[in-house]
Amino acid sequence: MAAIRPRSTVSAWQPPVPGIAEVFHARFTEHAYPAHVHDTWALMIVDGGRVDFGLDRERHGAGVSDAVVLLPPGVVHDGRTVTEAGFRKRVLYLETSVLPERLTGAAVDAPLLADPALRERVHGLHVALGERDPLEAQSRLAFVQERLHGWLAGRGGPPVATAAAPGARLAVRLRELLDARVVAGITLEEASARLGHVHPTHLIRSFRTAFGLPPHAYLTGRRVAVARGLLLAGARPAEAATEAGFYDQAHLARHFARHVGTSPARFARSGPV
């Protein structure tokens, strides 16, 4: 008789700690994240199993070890299970007030930080956040921030998005338009007109070359991020869907499951473990 796999579980919440946008704990037995970006840093430790992820077209693997994974904002990444048992992870989504975006290049070069002390500090921060102790969590976050700065200082370079490449500046300008219209959206025709009547296909190719995914996928990922915040703030899935720019609740649910690995309703109900 085949062994029964444990079901996937997700817990997420917004802590009362400045600089931490979201706490996310998950166990996935079989899941693949599509390519997407965050406007925050993602600081992850793996507690069980192994996960494979791609960052800026380079693939990496992380398992239960002393390594801490740090994914920078604005850089395309994905993730997937690689073993039958899946993996367990804890993630902190950190605002750029904790780590400035100028350190993006350093994090792209070295997203795996083999540092037992840092891992222990991140673990301690998660424990404090679960106990809802803001002062302790703020203190522990300061020590995590100090350690991360120590790793990244001196390695930084220009942001990945501004790297010299054909159409890179055009792609950055399009991303600025998308970021300004996450909920309302923008048509390719309007974007083309506002960027100098660039042909739409050239616009899409430039964006994909610079960021690794097409503009619509980027916008969908940003809208999912908006919906996550609304759900954690108490909005119902139907309300979060329309306020985040999705057509309806079903539209949100379809994309939310792909990006987060659970339904909007389960995500909203999850809370700290």
Do 85 and 135 meet the contact criterion of CB atoms below 8 Å apart?
Answer: no
Cβ-based neighbour number of residue 234 at 10 Å: 9
Verdict on whether the full-model pTM lies above 0.85: no
Average pLDDT value for the chain: 87
- List pLDDT tens digits, range 137-164: 999 999 999 999 999 986 544 444 444 4
Residue 124 pLDDT exceeds 90: yes
- List pLDDT tens digits, range 239-253: 999 999 998 999 999
CA distance 252 to 236: 12
The whole-number average pLDDT for the span 115-133 is 90
Residue 161: what pLDDT?
42
Residue 180 pLDDT exceeds 60: yes
More confident residue, 3 or 189: 189
**H or E, element range at 12:** strand 9-13
**If pLDDT is split at 50, 70 and 90, which confidence band does 4 have?**
low
**If pLDDT is split at 50, 70 and 90, which confidence band does 54 have?**
confident
CA distance 217 to 149: 31
For a pLDDT cut of 90, what percent of the chain falls above it? 56
CA distance 189 to 173: 15
Which tokens go with 61? 């693997």
CA distance 133 to 141: 12
Domains and CATH numbers, the chain: 9-152 (2.60.120.10), 161-270 (1.10.10.60)
**If pLDDT is split at 50, 70 and 90, which confidence band does 228 have?**
very high
Residue 189: what pLDDT?
87
CA distance 58 to 77: 9
